[in-house]
Amino acid sequence: MNKIRIKFQKYGPIRYIGHLDVMRFFQKAIRRAGIDVSYTSGFSPHQIMSFASPLGVGMESRGEYMDIQVNSLPAPREGKSVCDVLVEDLRRVCVEGLEPVSARILPDTAKNAMASVAAASYTVRFREGREPGGFCALPEAGRQDKIRAFTGQERIPFVRETKKGAREIDLRPGIFSLVWKDRAFEMLLDASSAGNRKPGHVAAAFFDFLGEPLGENALWITREDLFARGEDGIMGELISLGEMGSADPETEVLHEP
Amino acid sequence: MHDKLALSDDILLQIEKPERYIGHEYNSVVKDPETVGIRFAMCFPDVYEIGMSHLGIQILYHLLNSMPDVWCERVYSPWPDLDRIMRKEQIPLFALESQDPIRDFDFLGITIQYEMCYTNILQILDLARIPLLAAQRGEDCPIVIGGGPCTYNPEPLADFFDIFYIGEGETRYGQLLELYRECKAQGLGRLEFLRRTAREVPGMYVPRFYEAAYGQDGVLQSFGPIEEGIPARVRKELVTDLKDAVYPDKPVVPFIKVTQDRVVLEIQRGCIRGCRFCQAGQLYRPVRERDVETLKQYAVQLLHNTGQEEISLSSLSSSDYSALAELVDFLMETCAGQHTNISLPSLRIDAFYLDVMSKIQDVKKSSLTFAPEAGSQRLRNVINKGLTEEMILNGATLAFQGGWNRVKLYFMLGLPTETPEDIRGIGELANRIAAAFYETVPKENRKNGRVQIVVSTAFFVPKPFTPFQWAAQCVPEEFLHRAYLTRTAISEQLNQKSIKYNWHEADVSVMEGVLARGDRRLGKVIQKVYEKGGIFDAWGEYYDDSRWREALAECGLSADFYTHRERPLDELLPWDFIDCGVTKEFLKREWERAQRAEPSANCKVKCEGCGAAGFGCGICVIPGRKSS
Ligand code: SF4
Ligand code: SF4
């Protein structure tokens, strides 16, 4: 039995495929690829599979993760590692826009993708023609000042609409970093199950702070990667989920992240 | 990758299930438009989840895309939320694969599976910006071609289609498209192509070359071609040898959950049984089986090529397939350890079935389905349903012993000759099944204490090419009265607490009856209903009876004329010009036998001489069979 973490991308029209349907897609793709995936026992067994944080419909991502458990690994071939063979087999039966890019073998003791997510990085651009004029017209230094002023606040209240009504949350502790670069925001946000913060909310709060309205669907959001905390607890260093475990069990010694 | 989407992000983010409209499914076919001569849009005029579940479309999609010069794409009805936006923002209907407007295609093929989708056909044409009336289409419009069971009486839709393809799609598309190429190369126009289609390609009905005339009483008086060389009768096309017929080995795998979220293995076409209310049983005669060895290969390939977790056998009556046990054994062996489920709909409930089911399903979760269709043996003889009370009780008793405790029963109300006595029989049969449970299963083994029996009744709709094509249909009040009698009969039973009762809507069954046996004059009615806002009439929440009643009245027509009248045997019927293989003489014979409550044999027991032997294939040519 091995735990495998597969990193994949989601882009293009596929951004409209919902999270549950992405799961269903990979369940079938894994069967098409002939990967020896493990199933739960019981009367309606399902594949042992766990996804890191779900991605909102309409968003693209360069760094999505799913963990699966396999009974056996494919044989290495043509000088490629087991993980590369597995990714290649899987990619062949996927569609463009929903593509596995790499895989790692995780130590048996590793927490699953969902449980280990601590942070997510995003690039937030503006859709063409929907750039907020005031902010974009500022000189570069002025924009940086505004961002510093925004992140320098002690609290960043934001009213979130939920099914149960409006609820105020504080965004500040969840913003690990916020920078403006190449006409886009780069955000590193809390993505843990308890403190998850959304890039759209951060952008909305920022323009609210500037007093500049943001048009509907003005943001084009790409998730870049997901991170876990290193082993020294809450304050540990962030490690990309894709760098945990090992790419080649033959040559590397498995180590705990 | 082509990133093009016909709908903007603003739209896709506000509608329900944007996945219905973006294409890109696994196994969907993308070609370079520069390399193909013919663009074909294949449409199922209902929502994506229903349309994607249809095997016929997958077969034609595969067939057409196997032609290098053709690119066949799919299109389904935009759900009302998107429909509104497309009208408001003037977005033309597009095909899923290329996201290109349908208006620019060479062909728009529409499969017509049930009458209540007719308004959706107009929705498709309208959103595609194709004139609704075939007569008003210019050279630059796609050729609109219809297929499927409703084309066996295409007349209510005659105004809207350029061609109806009568019969199974596998046989004539090659020839039709070749003719299209030829006409295009010679610079012949639309009309000439249609004329040559009607003259030269078997199975093609081109309604503009035919004319209907009606008498003072509204009855059809004459019907026929208006030009030399156009055939007076159109004969159904069918695949005589299914062994070498194409099969879609790489069906499209949708992202979202659709109605048939599984691999479908068609094991045979047609049905030997000839129940007298059933149109499919007559239209697809003679029954033709697929070769079991080929099916085994398909099963393995299909599961591998799709990754689906379930495989289902498909046919009208799977128990009659001669190699069923062998095939099911093979599937159980192949699927064992693969976490693949097997589903076996339309199987007779007997010892074989229960044995198989207990191996492949969680008995406690599944229910038994019987379709006696009528409550008394007399009425079951009238409709020629060869299911007896004894068979049902034996099957149910066996099943109760095996741990089942849920039963579904399907009946029809309003069948010809039905009496209150027959209706009472529904309650009594349900009661006897419940009693069999309490006799069979000792108290301590009863899950939840009792058996659950669900009785459902549909209202009978007479269909063309059945022995009941002459029969009168009930008016809505009469239908509801019979549903009331059924409910009363059930409530009088000893075990009534174990029996639940559901019935269908009466209004829509009557309108379905109007369209099923309607004539050309109904085209105007359908158009009016559409113009009043009618779409998705097959969906209860969107069906509005008053729209249909008003439209009929505005056209000077009445529902009763089409439904409530018993037609004399010598009346010219709007669909008489279609030759589906089964002869009118046979249907008359069956209609007369029905009135005497005399059953007929099924094709395996004895040939009743229905006429389908003329195709020279399937069960009719199996040596050593008896004939009448
Ligand atoms: S068994 Fe009867 S109802 Fe079923 S398909 Fe055959 S003829 Fe029709
Ligand atoms: S000709 Fe005879 S065997 Fe053939 S379909 Fe008709 S009744 Fe059945």
pLDDT tens-digit profile of B11-65?
999 999 999 999 999 999 999 999 999 999 999 999 999 999 999 999 999 999 9
Question: Is the bond preceding A54 in cis, omega lying within 30 degrees of 0?
Answer: no
Cβ-Cβ contacts under 8 Å between A and B: the total is 70
Six-digit token string for A150: 């925004």
pTM, two decimal places: 0.95
pLDDT at B625 over 70: no
For chain B, give percent helix, strand, coil, nearest 5. Answer: 40, 15, 45
List the CATH code of the domain at B9-235: 3.40.50.280
- B316 Cβ below 6 A of ligand 1: yes
Nearest-angstrom CA–CA distance, A148 and A173? 15
Burial class (CB in 10 A: 0-12, 13-18, 19+), B508: buried
- B283 Cβ below 6 A of ligand 2: no
B449-452 long-range contacts, CB within 8 A, separation 24+: B450/B405, B450/B497, B450/B498, B451/B400, B451/B405, B451/B406, B451/B407, B451/B495, B451/B498, B452/B367, B452/B405, B452/B406, B452/B407, B452/B498, B452/B500
Nearest-angstrom CA–CA distance, B100 and B108? 13
User: How does residue B457 score in pLDDT terms, banded at 50, 70 and 90?
Assistant: very high
Instruction: Give A-chain residues touching B257 at CB under 8 angstroms.
Output: 21, 24
- Average pLDDT of span B285-309: 96
Residue B446 has what pLDDT? Answer: 83
Which one of B276, B278, B315 would you pick to mutate in the ligand 1 pocket, going by the greatest count of ligand atoms within 8 A of its CB? B278
Say how many Å lie between the CA of residue B274 and the centre of ligand 1. Answer: 6
Residue A44 has what pLDDT? Answer: 79
A30 in contact with chain B, both atoms CB, cutoff 8 A: yes
Residue with the nearest Cα to atom 8 of ligand 2?
A: B603
**Segment holding B341, helix H or strand E:** strand B341-343
pLDDT at B312 over 90: yes
Let me know how long chain B is. 628
Q: Which residues contact B173 (CB under 8 A, 6 or more apart)?
A: B60, B63, B64
DSSP B177-222: HHHHHHHHHTT--HHHHHHHHHHHSTTEE-GGGEEEEE-TTS-EEE
| CA-atom Rg of chain B in angstroms | 25
Task: Render pLDDT for B118-147 as a digit per residue (tens, 0 to 9).
Answer: 999 999 999 999 999 999 999 999 999 999
Task: Render pLDDT for A163-202 as a digit per residue (tens, 0 to 9).
Answer: 888 889 999 999 999 999 989 999 999 999 888 999 999 9
User: How does residue B543 score in pLDDT terms, banded at 50, 70 and 90?
Assistant: very high
- Average pLDDT of span A33-48: 90
Query: Distance between terminal CA atoms of chain A?
Result: 19
Partner residue facing A31 (CB), from B18, B256, B307 = B307
Task: Render pLDDT for B384-442 as a digit per residue (tens, 0 to 9).
Answer: 998 999 999 999 999 999 889 999 999 999 999 999 999 999 999 999 999 999 999 99
Task: Render pLDDT for B332-354 as a digit per residue (tens, 0 to 9).
Answer: 998 888 899 999 887 888 888 88
Task: Render pLDDT for B316-333 as a digit per residue (tens, 0 to 9).
Answer: 999 999 999 999 999 999
**Nearest of A253, A251, A256 to residue A230 by alpha carbon:** A256
A182 in contact with chain B, both atoms CB, cutoff 8 A: no
pLDDT at A254 over 50: no
Beta strands at B268-269 and B341-343: parallel, antiparallel or unpaired: unpaired
Residue B168 has what pLDDT? Answer: 96
Give the nearest ligand 1 atom to B274 CA: 7
DSSP A153-180: SS--EEEEEETTEEEEEE-GGGEEEEEE
Place of tokens 């079935």: B353
Point out which residues pair with A67 in neighbouring strands: A5, A50
Do A12 and B26 make contact, defined as CB atoms within 8 angstroms? no
Six-digit token string for A220: 């084009």
Burial class (CB in 10 A: 0-12, 13-18, 19+), A221: buried
Burial class (CB in 10 A: 0-12, 13-18, 19+), B559: buried
At B119, phi and psi to the nearest 5? Answer: -70, -30
The structural domains of chain A, ordered by start, are 2-116 (3.30.70.580), 131-214 (no CATH)
Which three-class secondary structure string do you get for B510-542?
A: HHHHHHHCCCCCHHHHHHHHHHCCCCCCCCHHH
Residue A255 has what pLDDT? Answer: 41
- B406 Cβ below 6 A of ligand 2: no
Q: How far is CA A97 from the centre of its chain?
A: 15
Higher-confidence residue of B382 and A114: namely B382
Amino acid at A252: E
- B618 Cβ below 6 A of ligand 2: no
Cα→Cα distances B335→B261, B303, B352, B533, Å: 17, 10, 19, 48
Nearest-angstrom CA–CA distance, B427 and B49? 35
Query: In chain A, which ranges are continuous DSSP H helix?
Result: 19-32, 82-92, 113-116, 133-137, 140-151, 199-210
Distance from CA of A59 to the nearest CA of B (A): 11
Nearest-angstrom CA–CA distance, B174 and B164? 16
Q: What residue in A sits closest to B363 (Cα-Cα)? A: A43
- Average pLDDT of span A34-46: 89
Give the nearest ligand 2 atom to B286 CA: 5
Instruction: For Cα atoms B173, B174, B176, give the angle at the middle one, nearest 5 degrees.
Output: 60
- Average pLDDT of span B166-189: 97
Cα→Cα distances B389→A125, B361, B393, B429, Å: 70, 26, 6, 8
A43 in contact with chain B, both atoms CB, cutoff 8 A: yes
Q: What residue in A sits closest to B99 (Cα-Cα)? A: A13
Six-digit token string for B75: 């299109």
Residue B626 has what pLDDT? Answer: 62
Contact present, B380 and B388 (Cβ < 8 Å)? yes
Which one of B288, B586, B610, B615 would you pick to mutate in the ligand 2 pocket, going by the greatest count of ligand atoms within 8 A of its CB? B610
Instruction: Give A-chain residues touching B362 at CB under 8 angstroms.
Output: 43-44
